[in-house]
Amino acid sequence: MLVCALGDLLLDVIVRTDGSSGPDVEGTAETRVGAGGQAANVAAWVVVLGAQARFVGKRAADGAGELAARELSSRGVELLGPVDAEGRNGVVVSLVDPEGARTMLSDRGVAPMLRAEDLDVRWFGGCEWLHLSGYSLFRRPIDEAAAKATGAVQAQGGRVSIDLSSAAGIRSYGPDRLLSRLGLLQPDIVYWCGRRACSRLSRRRSRARCRGGSPLRRPPRSDALNNFVLHHPPAAVLDRRRIACPMQHKL
């Protein structure tokens, strides 16, 4: 089975602090750096589960981009997409306090600038599943690239999954606008990112209720949500098997 994932390949910088904060305060931290980005993580998990994976996205040729690309490639993922010699690769800094609370500071760099014309439809040849990060729907021109990839995969009988990724992203993009977008893309599976994001969507368009760990039931009336099924937590779909993946795993 071949799974393609379209989205961001970022450099993750995880900083576990000792809790020190404030002006002129010095403290200690434990740091870890590695490849990340939701689409990249999905591609890496696909390989772990025994399938083939391609990552499609725009990245930069700077140090951060080279490090992230090298790590993802070393995990058996094929990397496709333009490499920007001038721009900066995306970096996400995660600050984790001693209690485990996390603050994420994201710089997506050149990733959202992936254009539909950057894609070669042959990259999706033989792709049985296309996975889209929700972040690929929230910005232009990458949203147009996501639509082109979706059309290419569906035209050859492949299926599409989308992870909504971010409650903040849904709020900024607009729940009604997102539902309309999902209705056009017609994904087979959608993953939501938690109760907050789910409630924003369900308040707009469905009578479905969020229940931790259980599927969001289809609404009784026909609407944008009626064409696909939502699952939580995220799962890998391989050969019609659904395998739960750890929520916090990073590359």
pTM reported for the whole predicted model: 0.79
CATH number of 2-8+37-88+109-244: 3.40.1190.20
pLDDT, residue 233, reads 43
What pLDDT tens digit does each residue of the chain (251 aa) get?
Answer: 999 999 999 999 999 998 887 788 888 999 999 999 999 999 999 999 999 999 999 999 999 999 999 999 999 999 999 999 999 999 999 999 998 888 999 999 999 999 999 999 999 999 999 999 999 999 999 999 999 999 999 999 999 999 987 888 888 999 889 989 999 999 999 887 554 444 445 444 443 333 333 333 333 333 433 444 444 444 444 444 444 444 333 33
DSSP the chain: -EEEEES--EEEEEEEE-S--STT----EEEEEEEE-HHHHHHHHHHHTTSEEEEE--EESSHHHHHHHHHHHHTTPEEES-EESSS-EEEEEEEE-TT--EEEEEEEETGGG--GGG--GGGGTT-SEEEEETHHHHSTTHHHHHHHHHHHHHHTT-EEEEE---HHHHHHH-HHHHHHHHHHH--SEEE--SHHHHHHHHHHH------TTSPBPPPSS-SGGGGSEEESS-EEEETTEEEE--TT---
pLDDT, residue 107, reads 96
pLDDT, residue 194, reads 52
